[in-house]
Amino acid sequence: MLSRYLNLVILGLCSTVILLSSIAQPSAQAQDAPICFNESPYCITGRIAEFWQQNGGLTVFGLPITDQQGEVIEGQSLQVQWFERNRLELHPENQPPYDVLIGRLGDDLLKRDGRDWFAFPQSEPIEGCAFFADTNHNVCGDILALWRSQGIETDGEAGISAEESLALFGLPLSDEMEETLSDGQTYTVQWFERARFELHPENQPPYNVLLGLLGREILESPGSDDPTPDPTPSPDPVSDERIVFQSNRDGNREIYVMNLDGSGQTNLTNHPARDENPTWSPDGTRIAFESDRDGPYNIYIMNADGTGVTRITDSEADDEDPAWSPDGASLSFLSNLRNGGLAVAVVPADGSAQADVIGVSPNSLFFAWQPNSAALLLHIGGSRFEGGRVTTFAPGDSQPGLELADPGFFQAPAWSVDGASLFYVAQPAVEGAFTPEAIESVVNARRRRTVEWAAGDRCASR
């Protein structure tokens, strides 16, 4: 599911779209020479030229409108080149085809004008259309045909898959809507993360659907004497002022940070693998997350600005759901064992030692750190939520410090600040009802009580 701030998008001055017929053809060049155009003073070369040719050329990207140049994009210093319809970014740290990424100019342009795509009317699935549940929009008719006809080759298979089209254009941010473009005419358009599709019924197919000149609209915005953006690096993230979250806005799961008001959204990972479940360190300087970039899911740590990515676990199992100890010295996580079982393990946050398994269960485990980082509470065994036992383990110990047999329904444990009580969600005798309960003086006693909860209240669990 997309974050609330997954794709805030903008529209500035809408520009007309040129017809791509026999005009604007690249000049004949040797394979390794720059590709130049009669209609543009700029040429393209190297990996950007290769990517441009392989993934739609003039139809998708248009003519170059700048040289390749250095810019800061979402807090990263990159080599980029602007085109009429988009911006291509070099990411040599990634394997092809992800070593060239496409700017999210649909997102950028709507955001610049303060247009919140979450406020756009949404729709239910329509027969004959492609419905995208992530944004609740349909893509239909001629726009769908063009969307499906282009894509970034990622699977080595013949034809263009939906995933490849998604990698090129991104998710739809609106249904079809009427908008007046810069030529003063009203057209039917549809916004995507990386494009604006425009219906031009006055043109013969295939030019009856064109892609808006978003690159030109951004660089030639009113009040800008210099068509090249003057980027400003993002400030150093601080966890109590920044939110870390995962998003698949580019068709791949990445880790982002943003300010509390939704501004300053920055992709920290920019990796073709799946990066998920980020969590701040207690001092706000590091982020732990899980990733399958080296095979199975393992636990990684990076600095708050996305630098210094370090692999902390090295397991053939899938290691997931990292949780910092309150002192920031350790990370606990859930490991999906190859035999089908589950384990909770603890590893030093600096990666100086192997993970220490402290609890194994055939079913789901809930766990929570004590506020003083002295022990980790586990719910082991039973069904998914019921039965089994609640125990506390200090990292490195083989015996539990507390045993609470069969707590009944047990979910979402949370310690009190002083560590004297443990709160969790319980299910009393009334079917379908839930109440929070507390284990008081949990380390030394086993007394439980139900906390008052008004009828109609609902619990929220992670």
Residues 378 and 250 in one domain: no
Assess whether 167 and 301 both reside in one domain.
no
**Based on the structure, what is the number of domains in the chain?**
3
The pLDDT score that the predictor gives to residue 250 is 74
pLDDT value, residue 359: 65
pLDDT tens for 164-174 read 999 999 999 99
User: Which of residues 72 and 1 earns the better pLDDT score?
Assistant: 72
Q: What is the pTM of this model?
A: 0.49
Q: Residue 93 — pLDDT band, cuts 50, 70, 90?
A: confident
194-238 residue pLDDT tens: 999 999 999 998 899 999 999 999 998 743 444 444 443 433 444
Check if the beta carbon of residue 415 is closer than 8 Å to that of residue 370.
yes
CA atoms 442, 444, 445, 446: torsion sign: positive
Q: CA–CA separation, 319 vs 460, rounded Å?
A: 24
Residue 151 has pLDDT above 90, yes or no: yes
Q: 184, 219, 254: which is the final residue of a domain?
A: 219
Strands 435-440 and 298-303 turn out to be unpaired
Predicted local confidence at residue 272, as pLDDT = 84
Q: Are the C-beta atoms of residues 77 and 234 closer than 8 Å to each other?
A: no
Which has the higher per-residue pLDDT, 366 or 339? 366
Query: Do 379 and 286 lie in a common domain?
Result: no
Is 12 in contact with 109 (CB distance < 8 Å)?
Answer: yes
Provide the CATH number for the domain around residue 317. 2.120.10.30
If asked whether residues 416 and 291 sit together in one domain, one would say no
Same domain, 348 and 384: no
Do 45 and 141 belong together in one domain? yes
β-bridge mates for residue 78, sequence order: 71
55 located within any domain: yes
Mean pLDDT is lowest, of 45-59, 174-188, 213-227, 394-408, for 394-408
Residue 367 token pair = 């766990």
Helices and strands, number each (H, E), in the chain: 6, 31
Q: How confident is the model at residue 178 (pLDDT cuts 50, 70, 90)?
A: very high
Both 250 and 207 in one domain: the answer is: no
Which pLDDT value is given to residue 125?
A: 95
Q: Kindly indicate the confidence band of residue 352, based on its pLDDT and cuts at 50, 70 and 90.
A: confident
Rounded Cα distance between 60 and 83, Å, is: 10
What's the rounded mean pLDDT across residues 362-389? 64
Confidence of residue 326 (pLDDT cuts 50, 70, 90): confident
DSSP state of 401: S
Domain boundary among 219, 250, 270: 219
Residue 6 lies in a domain: no
Q: What percent of the chain has pLDDT over 70?
A: 67
What integer pLDDT is reported at residue 251 of this predicted model? 76
Say if residue 353 is in the same domain as residue 367. no
Does the pLDDT at position 21 exceed 50? no
Q: Helix, strand, or coil here: 145?
A: helix
Residue 14 in this model has a pLDDT that exceeds 80: no
**pLDDT tens-digit series, residues 231-264:** 434 334 444 578 889 988 777 889 999 888 788 8
Identify whether the C-beta of residue 39 lies closer than 8 Å to the C-beta of residue 22. Answer: no
**Do 195 and 321 lie in a common domain?**
no
Q: Which domain holds residue 381?
A: 363-462
Residues 376 and 348 in one domain: no
What pLDDT is stored for residue 196 in this prediction?
A: 97
pLDDT for 417-462, tens place per residue? 666 666 766 655 444 444 444 444 333 333 344 444 433 333 333 2
Q: Where are the alpha helices (DSSP H) in 185-260?
A: 214-219
User: Is 11 inside any structural domain?
Assistant: no
pLDDT of residue 402 exceeding 80: no
pLDDT at 56: 92
| Structural domain includes residue 226 | no
Is residue 53 one of the residues assigned to a domain?
Answer: yes
- Is residue 4 a part of any domain in this protein? no
Residue 10 lies in a domain: no
Point out the domain boundary residue: 359, 388, 407. 359
| pLDDT (0 to 100) of residue 29 | 43
Q: What pLDDT, on a 0 to 100 scale, did the predictor assign at position 154?
A: 84
Q: Do 326 and 438 sit in the same domain of this protein?
A: no
What lies within 8 Å, CB to CB, of 390 at 6+ separation is 377, 378, 379, 380, 402, 403, 404, 407, 410, 413, 439
Q: What percent of the chain has pLDDT over 90?
A: 36
What residues pair up with 356 in beta bridges, in sequence order? Answer: 346
Residue 69: inside a domain: yes
User: What type of residue sits at position 300?
Assistant: Y
What's the burial of 171, exposed, middle or buried (CB within 10 Å: 0-12/13-18/19+)? buried
Whether residue 176 sits in one domain with residue 260: no
Kindly report the backbone phi and psi dihedral angles of residue 142, in degrees, each rounded to the nearest multiple of 5, phi listed first: -65, -35
